[in-house]
Amino acid sequence: MRRLRNVKIVATLGPASDTYETIRALFEAGADVFRLNMSHGSHEDIAARHATIRKIEADTGRPIGILADLQGPKLRVGTFVAGAVELEEGAKFRLDLDPAPGNDRRVQLPHEEIFAALEPGATLLVNDGKIRLQVEDCGKDFADCTVMVGGMISNRKGVNVPDVVLPVAALSEKDRKDLEFACQLGIDWLALSFVQRPADVEDARALVKGRAAIISKIEKPSAVKSFADILAVSDGIMVARGDLGVELPVQNLPPIQKQLVRGCRMAAKPVIVATQMLESMIESPMPTRAEVSDVATAIYEGADAVMLSAESAAGNYPIEAVQTMNNVAVEVESDPTYREVIESSRRVERRSVADGIVSAAREIAESAHIKTICCFTQSGTTAILTARERPRVPIIALTPLDRTARRLSLTWGVHCVKTEEQERFKGAVISAVRAAREHSFATDTDQIVVVAGVPFNVPGTTNILRVAPCEERLIYRSDPE
């Protein structure tokens, strides 16, 4: 099950990918991490999918990551007498707290917190930005607006408020219940929606209590402005281009994506590029040329992972979508220009012994034609720092911990292998040689680089490097000393 690419693929599960056979086919086609969307499906559905993934993991002997994506607070208008109305450009329209069904002059917006944050001149976007309203006057229970861009508005359409930081917690009551359920289930990554400020991440971390790593979804302009601070308190980032593309001009998205990916790479934290990557494959067995270029762009930028949403969860061609994404990744990474782009964008501030060790490992591996870098890791830090270097050779992460192996399945270029605990470095070298040979990364005539921390089984102690031959005699040595 060795992947012939470095970028990872996240596939969302749903009605179109709900059986053991389909999920296993998705994994074999190239999915490295499965996303459980907490916005859809009951807890029973989520638990069943989780159990299926773990069975596939056991059957294939390869660690698989599971990401639970929280819904976040949903801001929506109320209902209309006729179910929907057409708003004309230039017309006046009021949003208020009155629960009475709306008409072409007003509708309920049952969110006091929005009115508390609004100011005249603010913009409100309805129905994924198709309707644009400008606030002319507002109070604690109303907002009188002018329709800047008209269109059809119907029951319970979503509302975006791009201009202000809302006094809304990132975790709704539903999210808190889903968070606890997902953590008890044993997920590896938790994606947090509606992040506006670092405090949102810290609130979630207090509830997670170390049971999962936290990915902050960057989908609001306020999160872009506070990105450095949000990144500092997050374990990873998702560039969630859906709501971000609604609340910001679409032409802003490409440079923002590049900036976010670059920032994550420098911080050695995994970054996922998501939303509409192969959208047309929901209904078509072939993607558009523009979609292929979009996926390729994220790979050229050095993103850790690219994600499929409805394509694999509800589309007609879930397996084909994963295969397409895999094929694009293999082709892009075989392009000489890919290495030029990756290496020209490698900007790492090396401030510790661990930084120096992994940098040396990359340089030695590339200059001496060594086949792979093997990292012994307890918390995953050694492998993540090695991946930050974006080496030309594969990375094998050896760990005795299931949770570490599963989390690392999201990290660029890392092939995870579960191994026994080690007490001495020579024993670790033997295990590394065995893994490199058994997983077809090296042969008897090759060499590998082994990176580890001494003392073993202590997180954050990366301090030793060795070049070792992959000789068969090493595998069968009874005395590691």
Domain boundaries, the chain: 8-72+170-335, 84-160, 353-475
Residues 6+ apart with CB under 8 A from 419: 376, 398, 399, 400, 431, 435
Question: With contact defined as beta carbons under 8 Å apart, do 70 and 190 qualify?
Answer: yes
Rounded CA-CA distance 53/32 in Å is 11
Burial of 345 (0-12, 13-18, 19+ CB in 10 A): middle
Residue 216, pLDDT above cutoff 50: yes
Cα atoms in the Cβ-side hemisphere of radius 13 Å centred on 357: 26
Residue 480, pLDDT above cutoff 50: no
| Active-site hit among 24, 74, 76, 211 | 76
* pLDDT at residue 461, rounded to an integer: 79
Backbone angles phi and psi of 305, in degrees to 5: -150, 155
Task: Output the furthest CA–CA distance in the chain (Å, rounded).
Answer: 83
Backbone angles phi and psi of 15, in degrees to 5: -60, -30
Written as one string, the DSSP assignment of 415-476 is EEEE----SSHHHHHHHHHHHHHHTTS--TT-EEEEEEESSTT-TT-EEEEEEEE--HHHHT
Burial of 21 (0-12, 13-18, 19+ CB in 10 A): exposed
Q: Quickly count: other Cβ atoms within 10 Å of residue 105's Cβ.
A: 11
Q: Residue 189 has which token pair? A: 């990554």
In CATH, the number for domain 8-72+170-335 is 3.20.20.60
| Active-site hit among 52, 123, 275, 382 | 275
Q: Quickly count: other Cβ atoms within 10 Å of residue 409's Cβ.
A: 27
Residue 426, pLDDT above cutoff 90: no
Instruction: Please report, for residues 123, 161, 308, 437, 475, the alpha-carbon distance to residue 410 in angstroms, rounded to integers and kept in the order given.
Output: 37, 32, 14, 23, 29
Q: Residue 368 has which token pair? A: 């001496």
- Predicted TM-score (pTM) of the model is 0.93
Residue 163, pLDDT above cutoff 90: no
Q: Are strands 447-453 and 92-96 parallel, antiparallel or unpaired?
A: unpaired
Q: Residue 428 has which token pair? A: 């670790």
In the structure, what pLDDT confidence band is assigned to residue 476 with cuts at 50, 70 and 90? low
Helices and strands, counts by H and E, the chain? 18, 21
Residue 127 has what DSSP assignment? T
Residues 6+ apart with CB under 8 A from 26: 11, 17, 34, 312, 318, 319, 322
| Active-site hit among 3, 5, 35, 362 | 35
* pLDDT at residue 475, rounded to an integer: 61
Give the homologous superfamily in CATH for domain 84-160. PK beta-barrel domain-like (2.40.33.10)
* pLDDT at residue 478, rounded to an integer: 47
In the structure, what pLDDT confidence band is assigned to residue 477 with cuts at 50, 70 and 90? low
Supply the angle between the helices 289-301 and 253-267 in degrees, to the nearest 10: 30
Least confident of 12-26, 69-83, 196-210, 344-358: 344-358
In the structure, what pLDDT confidence band is assigned to residue 422 with cuts at 50, 70 and 90? confident
Rounded CA-CA distance 292/142 in Å is 45
Q: Which of 324, 333, 331 is nearest to 278 (CA)?
A: 324
Written as one string, the DSSP assignment of 162-176 is TTS--S--S--HHHH
* pLDDT at residue 351, rounded to an integer: 83
Question: With contact defined as beta carbons under 8 Å apart, do 431 and 289 qualify?
Answer: no
Give the homologous superfamily in CATH for domain 353-475. Pyruvate kinase, C-terminal domain (3.40.1380.20)
In the structure, what pLDDT confidence band is assigned to residue 454 with cuts at 50, 70 and 90? confident
Q: Which of 213, 177, 201 is nearest to 65 (CA)?
A: 213
Instruction: Identify whether 382 is a catalytic site residue.
Output: no
Q: Which of 63, 61, 49 is nearest to 14 (CA)?
A: 49
Average confidence score pLDDT of the chain: 94
Q: Quickly count: other Cβ atoms within 10 Å of residue 213's Cβ.
A: 23
Instruction: Identify whether 289 is a catalytic site residue.
Output: no
Q: What is the mean predicted confidence (pLDDT) over 353-370? A: 94
* pLDDT at residue 481, rounded to an integer: 42
Helix (H, G, I), strand (E, B) or coil at 284: coil
* pLDDT at residue 224, rounded to an integer: 96
| Active-site hit among 217, 241, 371, 390 | 217
